[in-house]
Amino acid sequence: MSPCLDVLFLAVSLAGAASPLRVVSTLPTPGEIAREVGGDEVQVEVLAQGWSDPHSISPTPALMSRVREADLFLEIGLGLELWAERVIEGSGNPRIRPGQPGWCRVTDGLPRLEVPTRVDRSEGDLHPDGNPHMWLDPLYVRRMAEAVEAALARLRPEAAAGFAERRAAFQRRLDAGLFGEELVGLVGGDRLARAAWNGGLEGLLARPYKGAPLADRLGGWLARARALAGRTVIVYHKSWVYFAQRFGLEVVGTVEEKPGIPPSAAHRERLWALSRERGVRTIAYEAWYDARIPRLLAEETGALAVEVPLEIGGVPEATDYSTLLDTILARLAGDGGG
Amino acid sequence: MRRSSIVVAACALALPGPARAQATDPELDRVLAEQEAADLADEVRRLRARVEALESRPASPTALNPRITVFGDFLGTHTPSGRLGESARGSEPGRTAAGDPVLVPTTSTPNDSRFNLREVEVDLRTAIDPYADGVLILTTESESPGEFETSFEEGYATLHRLPAGLVGKVGRFRTEFGTTNRLHTHDLPHPTRPSPLVDFLGAEGDIQHGVSAAWLAPGTPLEVVLQGLDGENEAVLAGPAARRLAGLGRVRWSTPVGLAGYAALGASTLAGSRDPRGDETATLTGTDLLLQWRPSTWRSAAALVETWYLDSERASGPDPHPFGWSAWLQVQPALRWFAGVRYDESEFTGGVDHDERWTGGAYASWYTTEFLRVRAGWEHTETDFGSGAQGEDTDALYGQLTFVFGSHPAEPFWVNR
């Protein structure tokens, strides 16, 4: 082949190769989902660090600049990232405005917990559409992956089959992480996920198979969480409702008097009494909250105050979604992080 | 019919997919089938209940209405000398009868120590159509207790489907001169506006009618804003009588500093005519540097330095070139507490004297939540001019309560919380 033809061939190849879709996510978990589902077809940026309070990121021009050329913007929504609106607005990028194909709220269509029946500020800094901290339940992340897949396929239909394949692989890894390899191999991840989603997992696990209940074959995060079953916990903010629902944690109170409202002296007294009465063993707080109050309460009641990451990158060992869940469970069980 | 269709469809979706390789053991198949039958019956029951709830839900009565937020700002002032700080610090706009100075500092206005509902602001915003958003900010202000004046502080449409990533704005708005100028009174991190801002741009800052185009450079946080304005600013331009347009340009570059820091450096210029005929010109140039450090929601620090320099050419007499600057430092030692200091300096280079004013102050803010703030402040002002003896000093103590209720709009990025 002559050099001219070589150059021509290279040019044609380059022209035919689509550049990666630029995906920007407000938080690390939707960003990881996009990486998992998008593979080489995407280039992902995450705006908020895992150790920062997702409610109160400053919508700086630096963030706007990172969104300027984005093809897809991923957010949790439900009033969590109020700052995202200003970031999109300031970026001058019309492709990612709400309602456009380049905008995706990954929680759309997912069942919400703690939707308030009374919406006014006397109830604190509440989320009128429900608690947004859904990513702490792997089954919600499983569903978010479907939303991300749909958004990517909308923008790049020719790669839809690849997105679907990677989404399924990601879900299989989540299933293995949640239920353990053995049970997934025996029953199937989809079936287990469906049973867990619909509240039928305990019934399924109670069924005998080869002389023993299927529960004996449960592994993964759910098996580890069994050690936490019934453990009473006080958390700083109402971030853990989805996690608690999935893993059987009993959250008996919050350090905040109401969402966003720091504790008064009277509330601290109530927490102290509650801790004694309910035998609270763990007081969990996120990195951005003042640790002094949980630590003081822990000292007074004999409980363990632990810093628990809410997101990937929240602590150094939470490097991806799987290690995030590992870390949360380990810390709640009292293995470091206090 | 509709309900049963949905239930049937839901059941179909809930059925297992193609048999998986794992489920070939007859005992396991039976176990799983029994469980799934039980689960499906349960799911159908739940879906029926959900469909009924959805079908009976009324449409939201607030659909299509704008988001409404109300801000209130209550200020108590005590001036031991019997002279008020805030209104005293305003410059007399326009020119003197002799046509001399560009900026003419007023002498202190006698006033009692009073409480005052200084401002109530109603902020309405919504999408107009797929191409534009609308913002309307109605403000009722009071300079003297019990006397209120209502106006549209801002009212504009934002155009977000312009080419090249431009964001357009048309209407009446706070211009993009500097950092503090763009803040509404209730958003100020201190009880009063910095003196040079008042001296150079007017008591409320620079609010004009016009058009604006903002552009964010791809790949780097460099913002460029160009604005065509009607020149109605009374402090440096011709005021309401202006017949010539004014122009404003601003660039700002910003960068993260470390994991929790942020820095932004900006420069602005506002150019226009000093008189309705356009015989005299004025060019106001400003710079601003903002530094922020915010490792958590309960600990932060911020500093801002702004400068103003006016280059004015007059038809007759010396051309004045006044300069002013303001520096502000704030720390957040705990979740609810913010405290800061501010220093301002303005010079008034008129036709005859070189007059100056210095203001130093400190304040502390306490938030019950982000929706209610209590603040106490103190300011000391010295001037080398005044009615009577030169070098008139003023002290003012402030007590402030600011509240917000409504739809909780996203906050601008640099505000103290």
Chain A residues near residue B221 by CB distance under 8 angstroms: 60-62, 64-65
Contact A62 B410 (CB under 8 A): no
Contact A187 B28 (CB under 8 A): yes
Contact B22 A58 (CB under 8 A): no
| Amino acid in the structure at residue B119 | E
Q: How many CB atoms lie within 10 A of CB B417?
A: 18
Chain B residues near residue A143 by CB distance under 8 angstroms: none
Measured distance CA(B314)–CA(B308) in Å, rounded: 19
The predicted model gives A315-327 an average pLDDT of: 96
Chain B residues near residue A190 by CB distance under 8 angstroms: 16-17, 20
Measured distance CA(B190)–CA(B194) in Å, rounded: 9
What is the structure's pLDDT at B15? 45
Tokens of A176: 């293995």
Tokens of A231: 């453990």
Contact B413 A60 (CB under 8 A): yes
For residue A165, pLDDT beyond 90: yes
Kind and range of the H or E element at B47? Answer: helix B26-55
Q: Are strands A72-75 and A103-105 parallel, antiparallel or unpaired?
A: parallel
Contact A65 B264 (CB under 8 A): no
How far is the alpha carbon of A306 from chain B, nearest alpha carbon, in Å? 17
How far is the alpha carbon of B194 from chain A, nearest alpha carbon, in Å? 23
Measured distance CA(B156)–CA(B133) in Å, rounded: 8
Token pair 């001219």 is found at: A4
CB nearest A85 (choices: B255, B297, B410) = B410
Name residues 167-196 of chain B within 8 A of A (Cβ): 167
Q: Any idea which of A26-35, A124-133, A145-154 has the lowest mean pLDDT?
A: A124-133
The predicted model gives A155-162 an average pLDDT of: 97
Q: Nearest CA to A284 among A321, A223, A337? A: A337
Contact B414 A58 (CB under 8 A): yes
> In this predicted model, which residue has the larger pLDDT, B108 or A142?
A142
What is the structure's pLDDT at B298? 82
Measured distance CA(A264)–CA(A254) in Å, rounded: 12
- Of all residues in chain A, the one with the smallest CA distance to B369 is A261
Measured distance CA(A58)–CA(B289) in Å, rounded: 17
Chain A residues near residue B264 by CB distance under 8 angstroms: 60-61
- Of all residues in chain A, the one with the smallest CA distance to B25 is A186
B142 SS3 class: strand
Kind and range of the H or E element at B269? Answer: strand B261-273
> In this predicted model, which residue has the larger pLDDT, A23 or A6?
A23
Measured distance CA(A55)–CA(B417) in Å, rounded: 11
Name residues 238-267 of chain B within 8 A of A (Cβ): 252, 254-256, 259, 262, 264
Helices A321-332 & A160-179, crossing angle to 10 degrees? 20
- Of all residues in chain A, the one with the smallest CA distance to B46 is A198
* ipTM of this complex: 0.78
- Where does CATH 3.40.50.1980 sit in chain A? 19-108+121-167, 223-332
What is the structure's pLDDT at B388? 41
Contact A199 B222 (CB under 8 A): no
CB nearest A68 (choices: B216, B294, B334) = B216
Question: Which mean pLDDT values do the consecutive 10-residue runs of chain B (417 residues) have?
Answer: 48 45 71 83 84 70 80 90 45 38 41 80 92 95 85 95 93 96 92 92 93 92 95 87 91 90 95 85 95 87 95 75 94 92 85 74 91 93 63 84 80 51
Q: What is the pLDDT of residues A279-314, one digit of tens each?
A: 898 999 998 888 888 999 899 888 999 999 999 999
- Of all residues in chain A, the one with the smallest CA distance to B264 is A61
What is the structure's pLDDT at B28? 84
What is the structure's pLDDT at A135? 98
Measured distance CA(A149)–CA(A171) in Å, rounded: 12
What is the structure's pLDDT at B266? 96
Let me know if B375 is exposed, middle or buried by CB neighbors in 10 A (0-12, 13-18, 19+): buried
Model confidence band, residue A31 (pLDDT cutoffs 50, 70, 90): very high
H-state helical runs in chain A: 3-16, 28-38, 61-67, 83-91, 138-155, 160-179, 181-187, 189-197, 201-206, 220-225, 241-247, 265-278, 292-301, 321-332
B410 in contact with A, Cβ within 8 Å:
yes
Chain B residues near residue A91 by CB distance under 8 angstroms: 165, 216
- Of all residues in chain A, the one with the smallest CA distance to B31 is A207
The CATH-assigned architecture of domain A19-108+121-167 is 3-Layer(aba) Sandwich (3.40)
C-beta separation of B375 from B191 below 8 A: yes
What is the structure's pLDDT at B17? 45
Chain B residues near residue A83 by CB distance under 8 angstroms: 410-411, 413
Contact A290 B371 (CB under 8 A): no
CB nearest B413 (choices: A86, A198, A262) = A86
Say how many CA atoms lie within 13 Å of B49 toward its Cβ: 5
Q: How many CB atoms lie within 10 A of CB A157?
A: 10
Chain B residues near residue A290 by CB distance under 8 angstroms: 298, 334-335
Q: Are strands A282-285 and A304-307 parallel, antiparallel or unpaired?
A: parallel
Q: Report the CATH superfamily, name and number, of domain A223-332.
A: Nitrogenase molybdenum iron protein domain (3.40.50.1980)
What is the structure's pLDDT at B409? 61
What is the structure's pLDDT at A287? 86
CA dihedral A142, A55, B124, B155 (to 10 degrees): -110
Chain A residues near residue B36 by CB distance under 8 angstroms: 191, 195
B273 SS3 class: strand
Say how many CA atoms lie within 13 Å of B98 toward its Cβ: 9
| Amino acid in the structure at residue B239 | G
What is the structure's pLDDT at B197? 93
- Positive or negative, the CA dihedral A258, A253, A106, A330 is positive
The predicted model gives A229-241 an average pLDDT of: 91
What is the structure's pLDDT at B61? 61
The domains of chain B are located at 2-55, 67-116+143-406
How far is the alpha carbon of B100 from chain A, nearest alpha carbon, in Å? 41
Measured distance CA(A113)–CA(A129) in Å, rounded: 9
Tokens of B18: 């193609």
- Of all residues in chain B, the one with the smallest CA distance to A260 is B369
Q: What phi-psi label fits residue B374: left (phi over 0), alpha (psi between -120 and 50 degrees) or beta? A: beta
CA dihedral B178, B179, B181, B186 (to 10 degrees): 180
Alpha carbon B99 to its chain centroid, in Å, reads 34
Tokens of A286: 């996120």
Measured distance CA(B358)–CA(B348) in Å, rounded: 12
What is the structure's pLDDT at A2? 53
- Of all residues in chain A, the one with the smallest CA distance to B337 is A262
Sequence-separated contacts (24+) of B151-160 with Cβ below 8 Å: B153/B121, B153/B184, B153/B204, B153/B207, B154/B207, B157/B128, B157/B132, B157/B133, B158/A89, B158/B132, B158/B133, B158/B134, B159/B131, B159/B132, B160/A89, B160/A92, B160/A94, B160/A97, B160/B131, B160/B132, B160/B133
Alpha carbon B3 to its chain centroid, in Å, reads 49
Token pair 């990195």 is found at: A287
C-beta separation of A96 from A67 below 8 A: yes
Let me know if B389 is exposed, middle or buried by CB neighbors in 10 A (0-12, 13-18, 19+): exposed
The predicted model gives A11-32 an average pLDDT of: 82
Contact A203 B215 (CB under 8 A): no
Record: fold of B67-116+143-406: Porin (2.40.160)
Tokens of A268: 């601290």
Site from A26, A45, A58 to mutate, B interface, most B CB atoms within 10 angstroms: A58
In sequence order, the β-bridge partners of residue B406 are B69
Model confidence band, residue A336 (pLDDT cutoffs 50, 70, 90): low
What is the structure's pLDDT at B40? 85
What is the structure's pLDDT at B20? 46
Contact A94 B254 (CB under 8 A): no
H-state helical runs in B80-203: 195-201
What is the structure's pLDDT at A293? 87
Contact A61 B39 (CB under 8 A): no
Contact B335 A290 (CB under 8 A): yes
